[in-house]
Structure 1
Amino acid sequence: MTEGADVSQVSQTTVQRVTADLYVEVQQFYARQMPLLEARKLEEFLETLTEDGSIEHRPGGWKLEGRRQLLTEMQARRGDPERPLVEEISAREAREQNVSYYDGLVYRYWFDRMHIEPVGEDTLKVRYQAIVSMTDAAGKVSFEPTTVVDDVLVRIDGALYTRSRVVTHDSPAWADKIHNPS
């Protein structure tokens, strides 16, 4: 920055501001969407994605596209909190062995530092940090590795939907982490 430059002009040209209404709308979208996943209401959760919506895990993970493929995968992995606690297993092993990953656990998604960028009349890019906590019946809490999430949200008939979600895990070995270690 040059000497005497007006800081307010610099920040206004480098940061696109969003309205408070838009910020609250996006927050409320996630406040409706993620509890559906936590409650394992998978069909309802997937209705918050576009029909061709995708979720991708990086690095070294997988990409699932479309509600049908996502539903099949989520039904196989999301489990039931009322079932016995799953054995110690990684996400990759659970997929390879076709076993549920979250049996016996209540999980919660925590978002922070949300940045919203309008990229068209009906399209938003949203980036945030996230962590997943898992609580077993005895009250023990464990965490998944932290992530950065990049979503593309689209407005269809006035409502927001997720078109794509890319979850970038902070640990390159995230998929091989032992799940809910004892």
Structure 2
Amino acid sequence: MTTTTGGHAAVPTDLYLRVQHFYAHQMQHLDSGRFEEYAATFTEDGEFQHSPGARPARTRPGIVRELVAFHERFENDPVQRRHWFNHIALELREDGTVSSTAYALVVNVRPGGKPDITRSCVVHDILVDGPEGVRLRSRRVTHDEG
């Protein structure tokens, strides 16, 4: 079975489901501070740019370093961050990779507080579906607020 959308090439339904499963586990790694597990969801030469204008982190160790450095600023803040992916649009590319565009909300919650949507983003991924399963070759995140 394939999933089709107006004007876009068909994407096998099982691939779409595997990508959703991949994202669910990947974001749980990130939100739990398991940065090495998160980085392992990238290809060895993966590239990750989480903030517009920032230099992309490259390779799994580079991604871990970037995430550790980024999260140091929250070291004394009991914030729990949740990344919510939705409206995932996949397109098969001629080179065999998969282009994914997803909307993402970043929700922060502090003890005794209410959830606060702190960021609205569009996530632009290039995915590889291989023997290890789905892996990210590159991720570029754009922020809606500029």
TM over 0.5: yes
**Could you say if the C-alpha distance between residues 57 and 34 of structure 1 is closer, same or farther in structure 2, counting changes exceeding 3 Å?**
closer
**Percentage of pairs with the same residue:** 33
Q: Which SS does the other structure have where 1:146 is aligned? A: strand
Given that 2:100 and 2:127 are in contact with CA atoms closer than 8 Å, whether structure 1 keeps it comes out as yes
Given that 2:126 and 2:138 are in contact with CA atoms closer than 8 Å, whether structure 1 keeps it comes out as yes
* Match among 57, 66, 80 for residue 106 of structure 1: 80
Q: Which SS does the other structure have where 2:22 is aligned? A: helix
Gaps of 5+ in 1: 1-10, 80-98, 173-182
Q: Residues of 2 paired with 1:52 and 1:38: CA distance? A: 23
1:88 maps to what in 2? none
Q: Residues of 1 paired with 2:144 and 2:137: CA distance? A: 23
Which protein is bigger by CA-based radius of gyration? Answer: 1
Given that 1:77 and 1:101 are in contact with CA atoms closer than 8 Å, whether structure 2 keeps it comes out as no
What is the Cα deviation at residue 120 of structure 1?
4.0
2:44 maps to what in 1? 51
What is the Cα deviation at residue 56 of structure 1?
1.4
Q: What RMSD over aligned residues (CA atoms) do the two structures have, in Å?
A: 2.2
Corresponding position: 1:21 with 2:14: yes
Instruction: Tell me the matched-pair count.
Output: 143
Given that 2:43 and 2:135 are in contact with CA atoms closer than 8 Å, whether structure 1 keeps it comes out as yes
Higher strand share: 2
2:97 maps to what in 1? 123
Q: Residues of 1 paired with 2:51 and 2:112: CA distance? A: 32
* Ranges of 4+ aligned residues in structure 1 off by more than 2 Å: 11-14, 57-62, 76-79, 99-103
**Could you say if the C-alpha distance between residues 102 and 51 of structure 1 is closer, same or farther in structure 2, counting changes exceeding 3 Å?**
farther
Letter in 2 for 1:21: D
* Match among 124, 129, 133 for residue 159 of structure 1: 133
After superposition, residues 23-42 of structure 1 pair within 5 angstroms as 23-42=16-35
Gaps of 5+ in 2: none
Q: Which SS does the other structure have where 1:17 is aligned? A: strand
What is the Cα deviation at residue 33 of structure 1?
1.0
Normalising by structure 2, what TM-score?
0.86
Letter in 2 for 1:38: D
What is the Cα deviation at residue 36 of structure 1?
0.6
Given that 1:78 and 1:103 are in contact with CA atoms closer than 8 Å, whether structure 2 keeps it comes out as no
**Could you say if the C-alpha distance between residues 107 and 44 of structure 1 is closer, same or farther in structure 2, counting changes exceeding 3 Å?**
same
Normalising by structure 1, what TM-score?
0.70
Given that 1:130 and 1:147 are in contact with CA atoms closer than 8 Å, whether structure 2 keeps it comes out as yes
**Could you say if the C-alpha distance between residues 124 and 39 of structure 1 is closer, same or farther in structure 2, counting changes exceeding 3 Å?**
same
**Could you say if the C-alpha distance between residues 60 and 22 of structure 1 is closer, same or farther in structure 2, counting changes exceeding 3 Å?**
same
